[in-house]
Chains A and B, each alone.
Chain A
Amino acid sequence: MQATVITITSGKGGVGKTTTTANLGASLALLGKKVVVIDGDIGLRNLDIVMGLENRIVYDAVDYVEGRCRLRQAMIRDKRAPELYVMPTAQTRDKSAIGPAQMRQVCDDLREEMDYVIIDSPAGIEQGFQTCLAPADRVLIVVNAEVSSVRDADRVLGLIEAQEKGPAHLIINRLNAARVRRQDMLSAEDVEEILTTEIIGIVPEDESILTSTNKGVPVVLNGRGPAANAYRDIARRLTGEDLPLQKTQNASILSRLFGRG
């Protein structure tokens, strides 16, 4: 077995990287893959709480890198899927505790045992981002259809290209199809064209994300709904399945009746 390392990044904060990481990890695990999701945001750990596993942390990635525990001890098993693990990061250590070389080593140690290693990158383009980019085989950029997010995504794309980690793919997150139809929000196609980067998935704005995050259950483990379906589709595309993109998801009945386009 030789895992694929996927880094989820965005440049701008708050666009949905951690939610995306949790849901893609869980979706791939539900497809029968062995998956570990790694929190790459040292000092601002959140993947654990989004996934509802915050009370089960004993050791973290920094403990493993510094030799205080074995690999398996730094991974929390998520029992809601057959083979899903979460490697939390340290909350109290400084960001330099894991650099690019250490992150590469962690991923190499995991490659033999896993099908997918998914890294939740911190926002920004500083050291933490570079660390998470270093081991990546593929890079997914989470972007909202909004000017600051698109601009930051462009910066990140430049850095990914410079590191020869491309071609990256876009996940358009929180798209509101009704607003796109009113020409009040950039469309997925607009973002794809502006960034000249291919889209791997479009996740519609969905209220169930907040409620499921409140409960610590990734939506894909919790049932259906537009965002859950979109994440499952992205996971299938990551495994190589050729699924067409549905660029006009999330059309409410009202906007279907009255909207245009």
Chain B
Amino acid sequence: MGFFDRFFGNRGSANAAKNRLRLALVHDSGALAPGQVEIIRDEIIGVLSKHLKIERDQVNISLDQGKGEVRLLVDVPLSVHKRAA
């Protein structure tokens, strides 16, 4: 943590702005309606749950922007329990 962070706090509000903007711009472009992410999340959880044990609460959907492309990232943590002895 740097000097300014300790004195002024607010670390990373720029990062929040960046992430919110990326999603808003994808919404604005009409490629993905607001609220659709939640529907997609529920459906993905539904499909994957048939085959895998997953951490339902931790499924994260985000957007990643590279040079001239935007990708939808779906992060699904699996429930892995220790093997019985």
Contacts and interface: CB of A to CB of B under 8 A. Distances in A.
Does B associate with A?
yes
Interface of A: 146-147, 150-151, 154-155, 158, 178, 180-187, 190, 193-194, 196, 255, 258-260
A111 B25 CA distance: 37
A155 B28 contact: yes
Interface stretch (B2-10, B37-45, B54-62, B72-80): B2-10
Interface of B: 2-5, 8, 10-15, 17-18, 20-22, 24-25, 28-29, 65, 67-68
A184 B2 contact: no
10 contacts: A147-B21, A150-B21, A182-B11, A183-B11, A183-B13, A184-B11, A190-B14, A193-B65, A258-B2, A259-B3
Contact of A183 (B14, B21, B22): B14
Contact of A182 (B5, B25, B28, B29): B5
B20 to A, nearest CB: 6
For the residues of B in contact with A, the DSSP-based class is helix
A184 B8 contact: yes
Given A258-B4, A259-B2, A259-B4, A194 B22 contact: yes
A187 B22 CA distance: 15
The 5 closest A-B pairs by CB, nearest first: A258-B3, A182-B4, A260-B2, A183-B14, A184-B10
Given A258-B3, A258-B4, A194 B25 contact: yes
A180 B21 contact: no
B76 to A, nearest CB: 26
B50 to A, nearest CB: 37
